[in-house]
Amino acid sequence: MPDDSLTLEDIIVPVDSLHGKVDWTQLFGNDHPVELEIGTGKGTFLINAARVNPQINYLGIEWANKYYKYAADRARRWNLPNVRMLRCDARDFVISHLPSRSLQCLHVYFPDPWPKKRHHKRRLFNNQFVAAAVDSLIPDGCIHVVTDVRDYFQLIKPLLARCSQLQLGDFTPRETAGLGEWVGTNFERKYLAEGRTIYSCSVQKIHDHHD
Ligand SMILES: C[S@@+](CC[C@H](N)C(=O)[O-])C[C@H]1O[C@@H](n2cnc3c(N)ncnc32)[C@H](O)[C@@H]1O
């Protein structure tokens, strides 16, 4: 019987293999729709989403070495050919390597809030990141964001809302979510257990005159 089980090398994308814009068809070996999750942590959302949607390709980015390896190993154990993991700074990746009009969805769940004012510049969401992220979406493509940090959310939502190519919609719980959850990530489960308020928003890219 052929052994079609995956190895870590099938899942991990070495950062030094990136040159210019990513060729999704080459990366995944097919032309299925692509979704990106930034800051996968241990990969709970990414793995569950990839299991439910085998016809969607999922790229996860995580810069913490321990978690990125853990998430990649989970994808290997579940034998998910539609998952790739990349260890790098997601903002650099989005700005430098995401092709225009190619992503079906961008997921950002519980981005690091960097609460100290002098660290705010390290936050993922800024004008440059949002512009590149929006450019990478296909028409009707979405960005989903969930956080427990009110002041960061109050920055993220207007950044997205004032982009003329986006329309704000309601966040509907993802199909990976359990009862009372929005997404079903490890941080969400921890924060819900602590009784924290969770903030969420979804935006969709509108068609322009080129579509
Ligand atoms: C608060 S944790 C949330 C993890 C997961 N999304 C969850 O909800 O359980 C944020 C994660 O994003 C990763 N991260 C933060 N900024 C990043 C960046 N610029 N590029 C890649 N990963 C990043 C961190 O290493 C961390 O694992």
pLDDT in tens, 145-155: 999 999 999 99
pLDDT given at position 211: 64
Q: What is the pLDDT of residue 202?
A: 98
Within-domain flag for 20: yes
For residue 106, the surrounding DSSP H or E stretch is strand 103-109
Cross-sheet strand order for the sheet of 166-169: 12-13, 83-86, 57-61, 34-38, 103-109, 137-147, 199-205, 166-169
Specify if 210 maps to a domain.
no
Instruction: Categorize the per-residue pLDDT at 207 as very low, low, confident or very high, splitting at 50, 70 and 90.
Output: confident
- What is the number of structural domains in the chain? 1
Say what the pLDDT of residue 210 is. Answer: 65
The mean pLDDT of 71-81, rounded to a whole number, is 98
Assess if residue 160 is contained within a domain. Answer: yes
- Say which residues have a Cβ less than 8 Å from residue 104's Cβ, sequence separation at least 6: 33, 34, 35, 56, 137, 138, 141, 142
**CA 91 to ligand 1: nearest atom:** 19
Q: Please, which pLDDT band fits residue 35 given cuts at 50, 70 and 90? A: very high
- Look up the CATH number of the domain holding residue 192: 3.40.50.150
* 137 is a domain residue: yes
Is residue 2, in this structure, part of any structural domain at all?
A: no
Domain that holds residue 54: 8-205
What is the tally of helices (H) and strands (E) in the chain? 8, 8
Cα 40 to ligand 1 centre (Å) = 6
pLDDT of 208 higher than 90: no
1: in domain: no
Quick one: average pLDDT of 26-53? 98
Contacts with 86 (C-beta within 8 Å, 6 or more apart), sequence order: 12, 13, 15, 18, 59, 60, 61, 62, 68, 93
Question: Would you say residue 3 lies in a domain?
Answer: no
Residue 211 lies in a domain: no
Mean pLDDT over 115-128 rounds to 93
Q: Is the CB of 89 under 6 A from ligand 1?
A: yes
Average pLDDT on 91-105 reads 98
pTM for this prediction = 0.97
Cα–ligand 1 centroid distance for 71 (angstroms): 12
Q: Which two tokens stand for residue 154?
A: 């109050």
